[in-house]
Structure 1
Amino acid sequence: MPDKLIVQKYGGTSVADIDRIRSVARRCLETQLAGNDVAVVVSAMAGETNRLLALTHELHGEVNDREVDVVVATGEQVSVGLLALAIRALGGQAQSFLGHQVKIVTDDSHARARIRSIDPEPLRACFREGKIAVIAGFQGVDEAGNITTLGRGGSDTTGVAIAAALHADVCEIYTDVDGVFTADPRVVPEARQIERISYEAMLELASVGAKVLQIRSVEMGMKYGVPIHVRSSFHHQSGTWVVPEEQAMEHVLVSGIAAVRDESKITVRAVPDIPGVAAKLLSPLADAGIVIDIIVQNVSRDGSTDMSFTLPRQDRERAIAILRDQAGELCPDDRLAWSDGVAKISVVGVGMRSHAGVARRMFQLLSDEGINILMISTSEIKISCVILEKYAELALRVLHEGFDLHLPPEDRASP
């Protein structure tokens, strides 16, 4: 019997060319020869999905389309075939699987489908034959058999979902970084690698700009209790473990800081302060698949209210058009304003549940640098501030130093 069942997921940079694919094949074989069953989930080669999307865009501007999914899903088909061949060339046995062959069943939302079920039996049969299973990430099929894709970063979700279906011991997410850091090391050179982080804290970090893991993959891991190990495909050192919350994690006040720069803010002024207005304004945006983030509402003495909310910058133009078309009576042009020059900066930590003073320190640190806060949002383990985008990198560095994240967790000061 094998020692463990290990799922490995490799991103586009890890399979960027034939040499990288050979390197991945060697790692897969090493893992199998250590006595493990191995399932490998692979993304398209670096840049391939963008290339395919560009081709479809020349003919058709809408990405949420059946035929667009047919085209972009081919990137992973190339990757799995090449990796299976590379494993065989090194003396191993491997079999590739596309989404319909594993029967990764999704809903019918093209370009952003959600997984409903996975049939693990074809993979288990592969293991019984001594083979490494090489599975296409990012893709599935709906109930009618149409090819669907899971959206950006969807291969992470495929990897964790396969691990959950197989009851795997671990899902290893291989990428081009060493793990999860206290901040983006490209902006904050003093950022430290995090050894262990809870699902909840990782979910919050992913939602506020830490792009190491896709949000839905963390949700999947948390739901099914799949240990996730984020590590580099360029060396064999340990990375960051994403696991259920442990008692020791409560002593870490702030785990990390992240920024989202590509944000926009929309403000609708002088909206009637009556029940149902927020739903009238925001429902058409939700129906169009536009995700609203922070919402702030201010009530004035004259019975009206100003409502501001943030959303991805790429959706701002479409959101304005929808508001004008479907809620024009509530937001005529003279009461509708927007800004594309904003960013969201967030501090995240499980320890914030049992420690006061984090918000106070955050606000003071930003104030000392002359950084004005435009909007504030909080959760049990996260505080987010919307600021002008030009201050985003300065805010990251100031908060990272102010919360002592350049030090080991045991040496950090209390707020």
Structure 2
Amino acid sequence: MALIVQKFGGTSVGDIERIKNVAKKVKATRDVGNDVVVVVSAMSGNTDYLINLGKQITPNPDKREMDMLVSTGEQISIALLAIALNDIGAKAISFNAMQVGIKTTSDYTKAKILDINTERIRKALQEGYIVVIAGFQGVDEKFNITTLGRGGSDTTAVAVAAALKADRCDIYTDVDGVYSADPRIVPHAKKYDVITFDEMLELASLGAKVLHDRSVMFAMKYNVPLRVLSTFVENEGTLIVKEYKGMENMVVSGIAKKTDEVRISIVGVPDKPGIAANIFQRLAEHKINVNMIVQSVGHDGKSEISFTVLATDLADAKNVMKTVQEEIGASAVEYDENIGIVSVVGIGMKTTFGVAAAVFEELAKNGINIEMISTSEIKISVVIKKELADEAVQVLHARFIG
């Protein structure tokens, strides 16, 4: 008998009929002899509705109270699913994050999981229950409700699977696996039967919306077998593993895009040691994650530092930059919200020459100007104008994947 953790997203539990459908899937997994733990997101649209309620009161609501507010969405879902399971003869019990001891940092709206107390989950499993857990939420050391950020239910599911040493974690979504690109942008995108953790982590962090990047990090760190599959289509989905035979045969496995970041450029920066450290330390103190960074030095001895942050962090970043500009004597700080980040990802890039040249050539051939570049062993990312992002995905997919 295996221990399976299943996660169902918001569209999977979007209404009562869909919740009943999920209950049947969960029961079928239990009926073949498996122990089952289910992690559930809020019903589709519920989190946005709750956020909008808070912002109707004030444009900048208190983050602690917003976490208290939006966490209620998952509690509705878990209770309804447990009711549906019990109704069809599958013994089930629902728990919120506090009840199962999902301990997190106190970083409201983007907390990180520190520990999970599995005692209550294991006891319920031993008593024959299907355990239904609220995703996306946790509790800090002072018992404040926290949330893990959008997509955080994926992280909850994989973290629970790791803590329980589950045999597998299945992530059910509204897509039937991991594709070489977003099928809405590239209709003939290829669905993969298997992909590596490294590739999935890059794709997730670079805009692929199949999985939350932190969930992939958990799976990779604790070697949790991960499967992505659809709630609505019967197939095996995509298995995500550490490695598989022939994984380097395909040079590029995916093209991803992000259009939710903003570029910040600090102009006229004194070119001396410690300036960059000061800038990024201040951002870190305010829990602002930085993605791409480029620094250039002019003939006048002044430098320009450009970097990207999530659009949701822009207001906080502006406050930080106002102070930093005065401290370091920069001449200006510029903000560009009209950017897209397009990335080419593949394990095979480690051992293949000329991929970067081919990326740049293809974009140039199609009149797409590159504004920033970032690379690693298995990815090349470029910043371009937001309105050209879809076209860039299409032409690069055609060049590398077909």
Q: How far apart are 1:331 and its partner, in Å?
A: 5.6
The one of 343, 346, 350 aligned to 1:346 = 343
State yes or no: 1:141 paired with 2:139. Answer: yes
SS at match of 2:291: coil
State yes or no: 1:388 paired with 2:381. Answer: no
Q: Does the C-alpha gap of structure 1 residues 262 and 111 become closer, same or farther in structure 2, counting only changes over 3 Å?
A: closer
Structure 1 residue runs of 5 or longer lacking an equivalent are 407-415
State yes or no: 1:306 paired with 2:299. Answer: no
Question: For the Cα contact (< 8 Å) 2:12–2:174, is it kept in 1?
Answer: yes
CA distance in 2, matches of 1:153, 1:64: 21
Instruction: Return the TM-score normalized by structure 1.
Output: 0.93
Q: How far apart are 1:144 and its partner, in Å?
A: 2.0
The one of 132, 156, 159 aligned to 1:158 = 156
* Amino acid across the alignment from 2:33: G
What is the aligned partner in structure 2 of residue 412 from structure 1?
A: none
What is the aligned partner in structure 2 of residue 274 from structure 1?
A: 272
What is the aligned partner in structure 2 of residue 130 from structure 1?
A: 128
CA distance in 1, matches of 2:62, 2:175: 30
Query: What are the Cα deviations for residues 294-335 of structure 1, in whole angstroms up to 9, with x where unaligned?
Result: 111111233221212122234335423421234325465x53
CA distance in 1, matches of 2:142, 2:320: 31
For structure 1, which segment, 211-220 or 114-123, has the greater mean C-alpha deviation from structure 2 after superposition?
114-123
* Amino acid across the alignment from 2:301: G
What is the aligned partner in structure 2 of residue 8 from structure 1?
A: 6
What is the aligned partner in structure 1 of residue 26 from structure 2?
A: 28
Q: How does 1:173-188 map to 2 (within 5 A)?
A: 173-188=171-186
Q: How far apart are 1:157 and its partner, in Å?
A: 0.6
Question: For the Cα contact (< 8 Å) 1:268–1:331, is it kept in 2?
Answer: no
* Amino acid across the alignment from 2:354: G
CA distance in 1, matches of 2:121, 2:333: 54
Question: For the Cα contact (< 8 Å) 2:12–2:19, is it kept in 1?
Answer: yes
What is the aligned partner in structure 2 of residue 288 from structure 1?
A: 286
CA distance in 2, matches of 1:29, 1:310: 45
Question: For the Cα contact (< 8 Å) 1:105–1:118, is it kept in 2?
Answer: yes
For structure 1, which segment, 61-70 or 109-118, has the greater mean C-alpha deviation from structure 2 after superposition?
61-70
Question: For the Cα contact (< 8 Å) 1:9–1:174, is it kept in 2?
Answer: yes
Question: For the Cα contact (< 8 Å) 1:64–1:110, is it kept in 2?
Answer: no
Q: Does the C-alpha gap of structure 1 residues 186 and 144 become closer, same or farther in structure 2, counting only changes over 3 Å?
A: same
SS at match of 1:344: strand
State yes or no: 1:374 paired with 2:385. Answer: no
Question: For the Cα contact (< 8 Å) 1:264–1:338, is it kept in 2?
Answer: yes
The one of 223, 234, 237 aligned to 2:235 = 237
Q: How does 1:199-210 map to 2 (within 5 A)?
A: 199-210=197-208
Q: How far apart are 1:64 and its partner, in Å?
A: 5.9
Query: What are the Cα deviations for residues 96-147 of structure 1, in whole angstroms up to 9, with x where unaligned?
Result: 1111111111122221111111121212222222211111111121122222
CA distance in 1, matches of 2:309, 2:352: 30
CA distance in 1, matches of 2:333, 2:93: 56
Q: Does the C-alpha gap of structure 1 residues 314 and 92 become closer, same or farther in structure 2, counting only changes over 3 Å?
A: closer
CA distance in 2, matches of 1:292, 1:68: 24
Q: Does the C-alpha gap of structure 1 residues 113 and 316 become closer, same or farther in structure 2, counting only changes over 3 Å?
A: closer
Question: For the Cα contact (< 8 Å) 2:100–2:118, is it kept in 1?
Answer: yes
Question: For the Cα contact (< 8 Å) 1:98–1:135, is it kept in 2?
Answer: yes
Q: How does 1:28-177 map to 2 (within 5 A)?
A: 28-62=26-60, 65-177=63-175
- % identical aligned pairs: 50
CA distance in 1, matches of 2:88, 2:287: 45
CA distance in 2, matches of 1:199, 1:185: 21
What is the aligned partner in structure 2 of residue 325 from structure 1?
A: 323
* Amino acid across the alignment from 1:10: F
Q: How far apart are 1:34 and its partner, in Å?
A: 1.0
CA distance in 1, matches of 2:329, 2:44: 43
Query: What are the Cα deviations for residues 55-88 of structure 1, in whole angstroms up to 9, with x where unaligned?
Result: 2223344456322222211111111111011011
CA distance in 2, matches of 1:55, 1:335: 36
Question: For the Cα contact (< 8 Å) 2:321–2:333, is it kept in 1?
Answer: no
Q: How does 1:186-205 map to 2 (within 5 A)?
A: 186-205=184-203
CA distance in 1, matches of 2:263, 2:156: 33
State yes or no: 1:215 paired with 2:206. Answer: no
* Amino acid across the alignment from 2:334: A
* Amino acid across the alignment from 2:208: A
Question: For the Cα contact (< 8 Å) 2:325–2:332, is it kept in 1?
Answer: no
CA distance in 2, matches of 1:281, 1:76: 37
Question: For the Cα contact (< 8 Å) 2:5–2:157, is it kept in 1?
Answer: yes
CA distance in 1, matches of 2:394, 2:247: 23
* Amino acid across the alignment from 1:364: E
Q: CA RMSD in A?
A: 1.6
Question: For the Cα contact (< 8 Å) 1:263–1:342, is it kept in 2?
Answer: yes
What is the aligned partner in structure 2 of residue 17 from structure 1?
A: 15
